[in-house]
Structure 1
Amino acid sequence: MNLKPTDLFAALANDTRLRCLVLLREQGELCVCELTHATGSAQPHVSRHLAQLRELGLVADRRAGLWVYYRVHPALPDWACRVLDETAAAVRGQAPFSSDAASLASMPGRPSAPRCA
C-alpha cells in the first residue's frame, strides 16, 4: 500500500471521518448502521465519508447480506497504524468520541440481531 501522509492527515482533518476511524480502530469492524447510530449522523453522510476512506485505502469493507461492514484496512502501513492508535488513545475520553463509544455500546438491535437499528 502506498499511502501518502497528506492523504491520511486530510482524512483525519474531517470530523466524521475521524470519528469513524477512531470507532473502527477501537471496535475492529462495524456496520454502517452502527457508525450512523454512534455518531448520530445520517446514513448517506456516513456512507459518503466511508467511501472516501475506502478510496484512500484507509478502510476495507465486506458485504454480509444487507449489511456493509468496515474495518481499518489490514494492509495499512505501520506508521499510519501508529498515528491512528495514538489519535484514538488521545481522544478516547473527549467529546464527541466518548459519547460515540457510549452510544454504540447502548445501541439496540446491533447487526447480529435479525434487524439493524
Structure 2
Amino acid sequence: MFKALGDPVRLRLLSLVASHAGGEACVCDISPAFDLSQPTISHHLKVLREAGLLDCERRGTWVYYWVVPAALQQLSSVLTAADPTVVTV
C-alpha cells in the first residue's frame, strides 16, 4: 500500500479520485490535472487498484475509479497509531 503511495503522481491521483464529485472519476475527468499522457495515468491508476486502494468498473469505453473505504480506514489506522512501530493488519 505504502509503495503505491510513494509516487507523488499516485498520491495526487488518489486524492483527486477521493475528492471528485460523486466519489468516482474516470481518466477523462482527471487527466487534465496532469502533464502526463492518458495511458500513463491509467498505469498509475492500475497500480493503485492492485494495491487495493482503488476499485473500478467499466462503463462503455471508460473505466470509473473510486477509493476503497476499507483501504482508507486501514491507512488512517496506521498513520494515527499511538505507537508507529506497532501496526495491526
For Structure 1 versus Structure 2, the TM-score category normalised by the shorter chain is 0.7 to 0.9
Partner amino acid for 2:66? R
What is the distance in 2 between the residues matched to 1:59 and 1:26? 13
* Counterpart pick for 2:13 among 7, 20, 35: 20
2:57 is the counterpart of 1:52? no
Q: How many residues align?
A: 76
With the length of structure 1 as denominator, give the TM-score of the two structures: 0.57
On the 8 A contact 2:17/2:66 being kept in 1, the answer is yes
Q: Structure 1: 5+ residue runs without aligned partners? A: 1-7, 84-117
1:40 deviation in Å? 2.8
Q: CA deviation digits over 1:61-83, x for unaligned, max 9?
A: 01111111101124325232x37
RMSD between aligned alpha carbons? 2.0
- In the alignment, structure 2 segments of 5+ residues that lack a partner are 78-89
Amino acid aligned to 1:20: L
Q: TM-score, normalised by structure 2?
A: 0.73
Larger strand fraction of residues? 2
In 1: Cα distance, 2:71 partner to 2:6 partner: 18
Find the counterpart in structure 2 of residue 32 from structure 1.
Answer: 27
Bigger relative contact order (CA 8 A; separation at least 6): 1
Q: Contact (CA 8 Å) 1:19, 1:39: kept in 2 or not?
A: no
